[in-house]
Amino acid sequence: MPPQFQKFLLQLQKSQKENNYILMLLGSYKGGEKDLRSCTIRPVLVRGNLQFQAVFRYTSRDVTKVWTSLELQSHVAARIGHSGFRDAVLQTKLGEFAVHVVTKDRWKWKQKLVTNAKEVSLEHNRVKERLIPESRPFLRGLGLTDNHGKVQAHSMDKFVQINRFVEMMAAPLATLQQKEIRLWDMGAGKGYVTFAMYDYLERVLGKMPKVTAVEQRAELVAQGNKLAQAVGFDHLTFRAESIDRARVEADVVIALHACDTATDDAIFHGIRGGAQVIAVAPCCHKEVRRAMAKKLPMEIALKTRFGILKEREAEMVTDALRALLLEYAGYQVTLADFVSDVHTPKNVLLLAVKNSQPLSAQKAKELWDQAEHFLAVYGLRTQRLFGLLEGWKRSA
């Protein structure tokens, strides 16, 4: 995603969070909707809750939609672009922010900060909105909500976690223009995130999801398929197989807390299967912890002599290496805390979006050499993802 667009989306989120949002204008429409010209989005109060009213102006009619804050973020992320609205202006109490799409890869950014902007005439009575609201029937089937559609107290952490994961996927998913989205969830377990992603793609983004959940435990696969049928998620299939054996052709690959090197297998299959977006939240990092040399350079040994710090060092080395190897494979990578560590200690999300242009051979070699050097510093002969990519490189 162009950095100018990222800045714009961040300003939007900030303005909503800090109650500074005034107005958004979208123009210069170049997408497939006949006669659509512009869109104006204002905040409104609906039964005491802050929402956003979008008025789409066509040549001879207007169409009005009302969105929650999170829906607004998703729609904006999906609708601004080379094949959508090429101009977007966000007015906030702090200033005006604008992006202009010149070509697919060239975006312009403008900001004008103000000191005396007018107040938005709204009394805010905000309730926490979720992209996946608690009323969704599949949440009941997964045991997260009760018979009244309320999140059960003991399931709140999981509910927050899946919503946060979906939120973090909103911007990368907005880079996918196609209607049909093939998503693979590796090590899907009961399918909390699998169902949530299906729901988000279909209900919020209006896409046609084709979701495959890979899970080695047959009983979870049977349960998942039964629930998918019960809630009418017709293109969601759970498969009882091991991640390393999956034959993947995907637009999106996700893996949330797949154990140890299963995360590497998921990343590798995402890369080899042509995924445009890969998102993994790693679990344990046993492989590197065990394989780190006994004798390490003094700067590192000072940390790894303590078990707890060795654990963290292994985590950092593994995830830094995965990020580097994803860059080598032609992805732009970001790492983020995806949910507060009150909810889970396994908290890092690696988010990779494929570059529009392949890397030059020289850049790729530079990154590969860095990875080899990195392994050598820690006395590691190899690492799962490194080994898989090395084998693939050799066979190519």
Ligand X SMILES: C[S@@+](CC[C@H](N)C(=O)[O-])C[C@H]1O[C@@H](n2cnc3c(N)ncnc32)[C@H](O)[C@@H]1O
Q: Which two tokens stand for residue 84?
A: 């959508």
Closer by beta carbon to ligand X, 120 or else 166: 166
- Contact with ligand X (CB under 6 A) among 242, 340, 356, 382: 242
Instruction: Classify each residue of 158-179 as buried b or exposed e, where b means 16 or more C-beta atoms within 10 Å of its C-beta.
Output: bbbbbbbbbbbbbbbbbbbeee
Q: Judged by CB, which is closer to ligand X: 185, or 327?
A: 185
Tell me if 156 contacts ligand X by CB under 6 A: no
- Comparing CB distances to ligand X, the nearer of 188 and 231 is 188
Of 79 and 158, which has the nearer Cβ to ligand X? 158
Cβ partners under 8 Å of residue 145, min gap 6: 134, 135, 139, 151, 152, 155
Site for ligand X in 246-305 (CB under 6 A): 256-259, 262, 283
Question: Minimum Å distance from CB 24 to ligand X?
Answer: 34
The answer to whether residues 201 and 207 touch, using CB atoms and an 8 Å cutoff, is: yes
Coil vs helix vs strand at 258: coil
Task: Give whichever of 130 and 190 is closer to ligand X, judged by the CB atom.
Answer: 190
Task: Between 77 and 188, name the residue whose CB sits nearer to ligand X.
Answer: 188
Nearest to 386 by CA among 334, 331, 336, 329: 329
Least distance CB 327 / ligand X (angstroms): 25
Which residue, 20 or 194, is less far from ligand X as judged by CB?
194
In whole angstroms, the minimum distance from the beta carbon of 202 to ligand X comes to 20
Residue 141 and residue 231 in contact, taking contact as beta carbons nearer than 8 Å: yes
Q: Of residues 187, 224, 270, 282, which one binds ligand X by CB under 6 A?
A: 187
> For the CA atoms of the chain, what is the radius of gyration?
23
The nearer residue to ligand X, 259 or 333, going by C-beta atoms, is 259
Distance between CA 307 and CA 318 in Å, rounded? 16
- Of 243, 277, 349, 375, the one binding ligand X (CB under 6 A) is 243
Query: Does the protein bind ligand X through residue 211 (CB under 6 A)?
Result: no
Contact 282, 259 (CB under 8 A): no
| Choice between 296 and 388, CB closer to ligand X | 388
Say if CB 149 and CB 140 are below 8 A apart: yes
**Calpha distance 72→76 (Å, rounded):** 6
CB 336 → ligand X: shortest distance, Å? 17
Per CB under 6 A, 193 contacts ligand X: yes
For ligand X, which residue of 5, 29, 56, 192 counts as binding (CB under 6 A)? 192
For the CA atoms of 235, 237, 242, 245, the dihedral, rounded to the nearest 10 degrees, stands at -40
Q: Which residues partner with 183 through β-bridges?
A: 211, 252
Asked if 343 interacts with ligand X (CB under 6 A), we say no
Q: How far is the CB of 67 from ligand X (least distance, A)?
A: 28
User: Closest CB to ligand X belongs to which residue?
Assistant: 189
Distance in Å, CB of 50 to ligand X, minimum: 31
Residue 100 · residue 45 · CB < 8 Å: no
Phi, psi at 359, each rounded to 5°:
-70, 155
Binding-site size for ligand X (CB under 6 A) equals 17
| Adjacent-strand bridge partners of 392 | none
Whether the CB-CB separation of 252 and 184 falls below 8 Å is answered with yes
> What is the contact surface with ligand X in residues (CB under 6 A)?
187-189, 192-193, 214-217, 242-243, 256-259, 262, 283
